[in-house]
Amino acid sequence: MMSAMPNALPGFGPHPVIVSLPGVDADDLVAACEVMWQEGLRTWSVPIDHLDTLTTLRGPFGRRAVVGVHGVTKASQGTMAAGAGATFIAAPWVVRGLVKAAGDVPIIMGGFTPTEVAAAAAAGAAAVQVVPADALPPTYAYELPGLVGGIPLIATGGFGPDEAAEWLVAGAIGVWTTGLASGEAVTDTDLDRLRSDCQAWQMDVGGVG
């Protein structure tokens, strides 16, 4: 029996980059998120155990930014994230029942091998995050798309902009950085370094902007 068509992911904004936000006090993130927004990085994700952060960010950013939730490992958490207003929900692997539990919210599931990527797509994921992409050789970025038959891929990891750009050149629809917005970076009283790092991540599909 074929799975239902997945709900489409929202647009990433000017650059196809998702930024994992750290589990720090939500109020500390507002200024840092404003810097990221100004630099065109407008798709963020908060940890499932910090849904209060999602609520806080929706205030000042509203429809200006796309804010999802990551780290979901149970279908029940998908229901919670959807209820809190997540724009997308991400799991590190295939979570059975998550698509149904999340309702209309699009789902990103994780995979590492071609078999795992295909299983995530078959479970109804709108896209599959290749995780941890930074543990793979650069050639994998070019080989995987042909092996999985056009499944939308997002490369996720603690890599730098150059490595991430390889995935975009190879056909990934986006990259997900887990290292850009560290707890130290977003709580620093001087956000100039964060701004500079964001500028290095100003990418376009097909390469670095």
Structure tokens at 66: 């796309």
Please, what are the domains in the chain? 17-202 (3.20.20.70)
Residue 140's H or E segment, with its range, is helix 138-147
Give me the pLDDT at residue 1, please: 38
Give me the pLDDT at residue 5, please: 65
Q: Which residue has the tokens 């149970």?
A: 74
Taking only the tens of pLDDT, the chain with its 209 residues reads 345 568 899 999 999 999 999 999 888 899 999 999 999 999 999 999 999 999 999 999 988 999 999 999 999 999 999 999 999 999 999 999 999 999 999 999 999 999 999 999 999 999 999 999 999 898 999 999 999 988 999 999 999 999 999 999 999 999 999 999 999 999 988 899 999 999 999 997 644 44
Q: At what angle do helices 75-83 and 51-61 cross, to 10 degrees?
A: 30
What is the pTM assigned to this prediction?
0.94
Q: Find out whether 175 and 203 touch, Cβ atoms under 8 Å.
A: yes
What per-residue string of b and e applies to 126-153 under the rule 16 or more CB within 10 Å gives b?
Answer: bbbbbbbbbebeeebbeebbeebeebbb
Q: Find out whether 128 and 108 touch, Cβ atoms under 8 Å.
A: yes
